[in-house]
Amino acid sequence: MRVESVRGMRDILPEEAWVWQAVEEMLRQVFALYGYEEIRLPVVERAELFSRGVGETTEVVHKEMYVFPDRKGLELALRPEATASVVRAYLEHGLYAKGGVTKLYYLGPMFRYEKPQMGRQRQFHQYGVEALGSLDPALDAEVMALAWHLMEALELRGEHLLFRVNSIGCREDRPKYREALRSYFAPHAAGLCPDCQRRLEENPLRILDCKEPACRELAGAAPRATDHLCPGCKEHFGQVLSFLDALGLVYVEDPTLVRGLDYYTRTVFELASRELGAQDALLGGGRYDDLAELLGGAPTPGVGFAGGMERLILVLTGQGVGAQERPLLDVYVVPIGGEAKRPAVELLTRLRKAGLAADMDYVGRSLRKMMEIAGKRARYALILGPDELVRDQATVKNLATGESQTFSLAEVPERLRGLAERSC
Ligand SMILES: [Zn+2]
Ligand SMILES: [Zn+2]
């Protein structure tokens, strides 16, 4: 039997991969505008990193994480998200020693054992940023402005974007809020889904994440975190909103927004496309001022966000963005007859050294077939026939216009470069 890929682990084929490259390139450029540098993290971590950082009672850790022992019995996990890893690396390598705010971004695969569906795979890809080392509410707003900027740079029109924002307070506020939620939900316990009945005891905040319609309806009228904030958190949230106003970012306050991970404190947000409907966030994030301590490090405030590449690419393709032509080869070399093979091979090398993307046929296709391939894959065909060869020449055919020109073999790379640059 033929070996096939694992359910939920999808190949990204060349016809799609170039769109990913273009989007990744754009993301990197915008991250750099805000002073972020890339960090590349392992996909395998100790499972403990996530049970402590993300939280034992979260869906992600409780139900969706890939956990397995290595050959010596060490409990490992495929990372379900990257924030905990970024903070681990920050602490492990003493990145705080430089002082100020450390700004890091990442791109890469994450793993969650969920039911695979359109735009959501078990191996999925995230882009994200983390800014570590400051409590300043202006930084929360800057991170959100960066998220907005990304979507605009990707030509997702601004009028369709909307932030949902909330503050879930600090660890001093949390027990009071949990109690308020518990006493609100307790009389309705029978109407909650079985998972939420468990959550009611363990962590009633997680009921607010539940997607079951009955639970959602009850959550709609639940006590608001913003009514249980200490003066410091209230002040912080007010400032975040005033910076958002100053930056002209469109937002609504959403008291049911808590995000599915335990490490969040104070500001939480999601950026949604209004066209996709309220449930479909493009990215989400917030502050996590206690995460470093949860991982055994010194107190380090942080704020960031992560978004899904699959979802982003789905939206972009849906809007017709990124539908521009897949990049072509500059030139496809077409040798006619065995005599032409050797000069063709030499010419290919010279073309590539001159910075031109070039290829030729290696499976003995006919002239007609080679020209057909050239028409699909390249901007120019470079024909080396017996007539050309006796004169040390090659015919260059513009495959868009059908025009042909003849050049001497010696000057072909330079001439082609001139043509290629002019028609870019
Ligand atoms: Zn507080
Ligand atoms: Zn529920």
CA of 234 to the centre of ligand 1 (A): 7
CA of 268 to the centre of ligand 1 (A): 14
Beta bridge partners of 382: 333, 396
What CA–CA distance (Å, rounded) separates 225 from 2?
A: 53
Convert 168-237 into a string of H (helix), E (strand) and C (coil).
Answer: CCCCCCHHHHHHHHHHHHHHHHHHCCHHHHHHHHHCHHHHHHCCCHHHHHHHHCCCCHHHHCCHHHHHHH
| Ligand in nearest proximity to the CA of 194 | 2
CA of 263 to the centre of ligand 1 (A): 14
CA of 63 to the centre of ligand 2 (A): 14
CA of 215 to the centre of ligand 1 (A): 27
Per the listing, tokens 């380090």 go with 300
CA of 49 to the centre of ligand 1 (A): 25
Encoding tokens for residue 40? 């590349």
Amino acid 312: pLDDT: 87
| Ligand in nearest proximity to the CA of 266 | 1
The one-digit pLDDT tens for each residue of the chain (424 residues) are: 999 999 999 999 988 898 899 999 999 999 999 999 999 999 999 999 999 988 888 888 988 999 999 999 999 999 999 999 999 999 999 999 988 999 999 999 999 999 998 778 999 999 999 999 999 999 999 999 999 999 988 877 655 889 999 999 999 999 999 999 999 999 999 999 998 999 998 889 889 888 899 999 999 899 999 999 999 999 999 999 999 999 999 999 998 898 878 889 999 999 987 765 545 789 999 999 999 999 999 999 999 999 999 988 887 787 776 556 678 999 999 999 999 999 999 999 999 999 999 999 999 999 999 999 999 999 999 999 999 999 999 999 999 999 999 999 999 999 999 988 876 5
Say if residue 381 is exposed, middle or buried (CB neighbours under 10 Å; 0-12, 13-18, 19+).
Answer: buried
Q: What is the pLDDT of residues 92-126, one digit of tens each?
A: 999 999 889 999 999 999 999 999 987 789 999 99
| Ligand in nearest proximity to the CA of 213 | 2
Rounded to the nearest angstrom, the gap between the alpha carbon of residue 362 and the centroid of all alpha carbons in its chain is 37
Amino acid 278: pLDDT: 47
Encoding tokens for residue 248? 């002209």
Amino acid 324: pLDDT: 62
CA of 321 to the centre of ligand 2 (A): 37
CA of 319 to the centre of ligand 1 (A): 41
| Ligand in nearest proximity to the CA of 172 | 1
Strand residue runs (E) in 338-421: 358-360, 378-384, 393-398, 404-408
| Ligand in nearest proximity to the CA of 237 | 1
| Ligand in nearest proximity to the CA of 230 | 1
Q: What is the pLDDT of residues 173-186, one digit of tens each?
A: 999 999 999 999 99
CA of 295 to the centre of ligand 1 (A): 21
Q: How many helices (H) and strands (E) does the chain have?
A: 15, 16
What CA–CA distance (Å, rounded) separates 403 from 423?
A: 13
CA of 228 to the centre of ligand 1 (A): 8
What CA–CA distance (Å, rounded) separates 60 from 41?
A: 19
CB atoms within 10 A of CB 128: 25
| pTM for this model (two decimals) | 0.91
CA of 133 to the centre of ligand 1 (A): 18
Q: Edge-to-edge strands of the sheet including 102-111?
A: 37-38, 102-111, 123-132, 302-308, 281-287, 265-273, 161-167, 251-253
What CA–CA distance (Å, rounded) separates 174 from 172?
A: 6
Domains annotated for the chain, with CATH where assigned, are 14-173+229-318 (3.30.930.10), 329-422 (3.40.50.800)
What CA–CA distance (Å, rounded) separates 122 from 111?
A: 5
Encoding tokens for residue 113? 């054992």
Query: Element (H or E) spanning 375, and its range?
Result: helix 367-377
Beta bridge partners of 44: 78
Beta bridge partners of 308: 126
| Ligand in nearest proximity to the CA of 197 | 2
Amino acid 358: pLDDT: 97
